[in-house]
Structure 1
Amino acid sequence: MFTLVLHSHLPWLANHGRWPVGEEWLYQSWAASYQPVFAALRRLAADGFTNQLSLGITPVLAAQLDDPHCLTSMYEWLADWQLRGAEAAISREDTGSTARPTSSINELGTREYRAAAAALSDFEKHWRHGGSALIRSMVDSGTIELLGGPLAHPFAPLLDPRLRDFSLREGLYDAEARFSTRPQGIWAPECAYAPGMESDYEAAGVRHFMVDGPALHGDTSLGRTVGTSDVVAFGRDLQVSYRVWSPKSGYPGHSAYRDFHTYDHQFGLKPARVTGRTVSGADKKPYEPARAQAALQGHVDDFITSVRDRLISESERIGRPAHVVAAFDTELFGHWWHEGPQWLEAVLRALPEAGITVGTLQTARDEGYVGNPVELSESSWGSGKDWRVWNGPVVDDLVQINAEVVSAALATVQKRRDQQPVRDHVSDQILRETLMTLSSDWPFMVSKETAADYARNRLYTHAHATREICDAADRGRESVAAQLAAQWNRADNLFPGLDARRLTFLDAVDRP
């Protein structure tokens, strides 16, 4: 059996800047990845395809896909894209005394205008009132298995066990409220694991989760129950996954595909193909859709062959039918790799024709693709397959701030719980801001030097909010604490279902 797993996630971006980092990131990903990927899933569903992939939707992304501000701004962004395409389509080259058509930019503008028009129509029909109904329809049709995750995407192994348990349970509650289904599987943020976390999963009702291949020492041909639990860890097969994308290579780097990094700065469009790894942006060749389509078919065929060969060799090695899991960020398909959604749909249609059984992680578990129990060590899918990206020397200061924020937040919330064991919106907001501080995105961006200043500013902002509310509450300034909590809540307007009363303090020392 072959399983495709996609992890859909962006940090909370609404009202936290627009360009070069901020809401633009959300709208680009929405238009380039989420819209075409779900359009492909709808076509597959209409043609009777079921159990096509396990799709992770993080609570923080789901919140943005439902947020009224984001929905309105996304609609405006699509209209702006169409306008930019129209301007490029009728652009004229100024030669001093005359103006003449500029064929390459005119062709690009025409393509972009049509693409934006199609995206606007799709958005109006399927997304205009939020993403939850669309995602739920894919779950209800049996096309996908929904994977959940903890609120705000924290790096769970570094969390206080009480907060780790709370964020996971709240994330599962959030998914159930949005999609009317409680996920049985999760994609843990960054595929991060620490010994004992399977106990948290089992207690929360999670039956399976993802790890990276090296966590299972490369033996990913079957899922494995972890320790003495009944929770199954499925490992990403790097040999197959790296055919698509790896730190050094993969299909999206082919010379014929559209280049992600090169912009026409007059209209904000992407006019070039990759051309070559060492070719500068100014020297890249114009994008040619027909050339890209020819490359695409070759990469579909190559992937099908790779999956089939891997299944055969692994089945022979273990003496029973094997399971291969390929896993990626959803945003690779479309946002980073323009042709990715087309490739994705073509692969899912071609796999059964090649005699390959396709199923979800849930399908694999139910049909017995599970081997002997295993003890897992610390791991992630980050650099070095360890935790260095999130607690290495580059982010020591962020780790220290996180520890201080968590300590203050838990102390304040526990004190308030002892005083008034009723719904407390101040405690709710303290935990919201704490979890936003702990997002794994901020240390990742700093470690990878991608918009590091933005990431630090975001962490500092949420840490300040947490401390400010805690300080007022601890000083007994109840009206000030309530006012601050309401103002910070209004600033982001997310996770209304979070309830601090579900934070468990008993036996915290004894938890894994």
Structure 2
Amino acid sequence: MSDTGRDSSVSSPEALRSSPPVPGMFTMVLHTHLPWLAHHGRWPVGEEWLYQSWATSYLPLMRAFNTLAAEGRENLVTLGMTPVVTAQLDDPYCLTGMHHWLANWELRAREATTRTSGEDTGFAAPEAMRAFGIREREDAARALDDFAVGWRHGGSPLLRRLVDAGTIELLGGPLAHPFQPLLNPRLREFALREGLADANARFAHTPGGIWAPECAYAPGMEHDYAAAGVTHFMVDGPSLHGDTALGRPVTDSGVTAFGRDLQVSYRVWSPKSGYPGHAAYRDFHTYDHVTGLKPARVTGRNVPSQEKAPYDAERADHAVDVHVADFVDVVRRRLISESERIGRPAHVVAAFDTELFGHWWHEGPLWLERVLRALPAAGIRVGTLTDAITDGFVGDAVDLPPGSWGSGKDWQVWSGEQVADLVALNAEVVDTALATVDKALDQAASTGSWAPRDTVADQILRETLLTVSSDWPFMVSKDTAAEYARYRAHLHAHATREIAGALASGRREHAQRLADGWNHADGLFGALDARRLPR
């Protein structure tokens, strides 16, 4: 994309503000997810991934949502929060680690301000690096202040405030983000119910909707959702054959599937033409080797790192305005055309990973804040998925085919030949875990009408759920830290086998010591209770 980066046919912000009301409604859906990373490595994969996402996405987005809430704006975003992310945002160890990371960021920025002409920056002149360091130091200091004041008790109180204020709709999901179609139905039901209970404990609110991990679906899952109290979930556009203009009840379940509108979503996030690749925006891949900061702009698609131009905040700010106007125009045109096509007001859903905004695309939080102001100013109604159901943006029932939002829109990323070993590992570990836990619960129940909580059984299920996280096969299939992903899957599988083996052989005390040790190593999902496993 060129520096101008705008089609001449795109309406100006002034024209959009004077536009008549647009039929239908637009919904922005964000999916917040990372695997459990605490205590499992730091760099290049591990806690650094968590802290970078926290600093560059979660902190500025929370700031933007609070700013918009203070303006009296409601029903702005449908925000999916996976339990494994909220567990880390509330975890004392992670909170301490994040505070240290932010302080280190400020120190690195301070170092950039002292760059002298004798130091090699790789591509940026010392004066440009010093100017960049000053801005980066201001950003780091602001983040430190925000964190110290607002985040000392974790992320859940902040999110709860936004939910209570009606600023966002919260989507939940199953614990540890398993690929549900390939999961034993008993563990699938357990993971979902525990995930919804986890959200209720953190937010005093049980989500009515979920972001199904990887937007993965298999026929029949809608009845499991209905039984768990779920009223709606997300799928990718091709699952509805591209007809995403209305939510669709799935079979006779009463549970509504909403499809991501790819025409609108890909306008933002497309490898070939998406906004983050604009020449003016900060380049994600180019580092200053002394400070670890990212002081370059994209410059051009095929420009090597050493030839990238220095980042120019004013140039980037202008590009944000251009892309806000472009997106509003895209949404307006899509709503009009889809409403005409179906003969009634349409619903358009754009959905993205939350981490796109800030972590991958530095300017993303600013763009999002401005878009959420510009859309209603242009006569476009913005609402949540729940608003869509309440206000009748729902069509006829459908039979959904199996699908996901992965490559090919099928299950190949999580079930293909390249991850066949992980599929087999998951099946073996789940079978072992369920058989062992069943036996333990049966033995406890035989002693009386009330079975005490069994923390050994709890830990077996906890490690099993970490084993079957959808992140590990994804990272292998996409060859992104595949070695780390295999290590994590086998580590948790080993923990499951070790505890289950000790328990199955009658060594209860040894199994308890093992369970306590593994739980101490991670310490997540403390409320998980094996007694709630469907029998």
The answer for the alignment partner of 1:59 in structure 2 is 83
- Counterparts in 2 of 1:1-400, with a 5 A limit? 1-94=25-118, 102-400=126-424
Q: Secondary structure at the match of 2:117?
A: strand
Aligned partner of 2:57: which letter? S
* Deviation of the 1:125 alpha carbon: 1.4
The answer for the alignment partner of 1:489 in structure 2 is 519
After superposition, the C-alpha distances for 1:12-42 in whole angstroms (9 at most, x for unaligned) are 0001000000000001000100000110000
Q: Does 1:409 align with 2:408?
A: no
C-alpha distance in 2 between matches for 1:112 and 1:198: 47
Q: Secondary structure at the match of 2:72?
A: coil
The answer for the alignment partner of 2:497 in structure 1 is 467
Q: Secondary structure at the match of 2:349?
A: strand
C-alpha distance in 1 between matches for 2:333 and 2:347: 12
Aligned partner of 1:471: which letter? G
Q: 1:455 aligns with which of 481, 485, 489?
A: 485
C-alpha distance in 1 between matches for 2:117 and 2:411: 52
Aligned-pair Cα RMSD in Å: 1.0
C-alpha distance in 2 between matches for 1:6 and 1:140: 18
Aligned partner of 2:312: which letter? E
Q: Secondary structure at the match of 1:439?
A: coil
After superposition, the C-alpha distances for 1:50-98 in whole angstroms (9 at most, x for unaligned) are 00010000000000000000000100100000001111101223289xx
The answer for the alignment partner of 1:424 in structure 2 is 454
C-alpha distance in 1 between matches for 2:273 and 2:495: 41
C-alpha distance in 2 between matches for 1:417 and 1:223: 41
**Consecutive unaligned residues in structure 1, runs of 5 or more:** 506-512
How many residue pairs are counted as aligned between the two chains? Answer: 501
C-alpha distance in 1 between matches for 2:353 and 2:373: 20
C-alpha distance in 2 between matches for 1:122 and 1:239: 36
The answer for the alignment partner of 1:509 in structure 2 is none
Q: Secondary structure at the match of 2:108?
A: helix
Q: Secondary structure at the match of 1:91?
A: coil
Q: Secondary structure at the match of 1:54?
A: strand
C-alpha distance in 1 between matches for 2:148 and 2:484: 32
The answer for the alignment partner of 2:12 in structure 1 is none
Aligned partner of 1:231: which letter? V
Q: Secondary structure at the match of 2:78?
A: strand
After superposition, the C-alpha distances for 1:117-161 in whole angstroms (9 at most, x for unaligned) are 000011111112200100000000000000000000000000000
* Deviation of the 1:248 alpha carbon: 3.4
* Deviation of the 1:181 alpha carbon: 0.1
Q: Secondary structure at the match of 2:488?
A: helix
C-alpha distance in 2 between matches for 1:407 and 1:95: 58
Aligned partner of 1:214: which letter? P
* Deviation of the 1:280 alpha carbon: 1.0
* Deviation of the 1:294 alpha carbon: 1.2
After superposition, the C-alpha distances for 1:168-205 in whole angstroms (9 at most, x for unaligned) are 00000000000000000000100000000000100000
C-alpha distance in 1 between matches for 2:292 and 2:440: 51
Deviates more, 1:170-179 or 1:84-93: 84-93
C-alpha distance in 1 between matches for 2:270 and 2:441: 47
C-alpha distance in 1 between matches for 2:371 and 2:95: 31
C-alpha distance in 2 between matches for 1:452 and 1:247: 22
C-alpha distance in 1 between matches for 2:28 and 2:149: 27
Aligned partner of 2:494: which letter? H
* Deviation of the 1:492 alpha carbon: 0.2
Aligned partner of 1:452: which letter? A
C-alpha distance in 2 between matches for 1:194 and 1:224: 16
Q: Secondary structure at the match of 1:147?
A: strand
Q: Secondary structure at the match of 1:4?
A: strand
Q: 1:442 aligns with which of 456, 467, 472?
A: 472
C-alpha distance in 2 between matches for 1:391 and 1:488: 28
After superposition, the C-alpha distances for 1:243-274 in whole angstroms (9 at most, x for unaligned) are 00024330000011000000001001001111
Runs of 4+ in 1 over 4 A off after TM superposition: none
C-alpha distance in 1 between matches for 2:371 and 2:149: 26
Identity value in percent: 68
C-alpha distance in 2 between matches for 1:119 and 1:425: 38
TM-score scaled by length of structure 2: 0.93
C-alpha distance in 2 between matches for 1:429 and 1:75: 29
C-alpha distance in 2 between matches for 1:251 and 1:217: 26
After superposition, the C-alpha distances for 1:365-387 in whole angstroms (9 at most, x for unaligned) are 01000000000010000000000
Aligned partner of 1:403: which letter? A
* Deviation of the 1:442 alpha carbon: 0.4
**Consecutive unaligned residues in structure 2, runs of 5 or more:** 1-24, 446-450
Aligned partner of 2:134: which letter? T
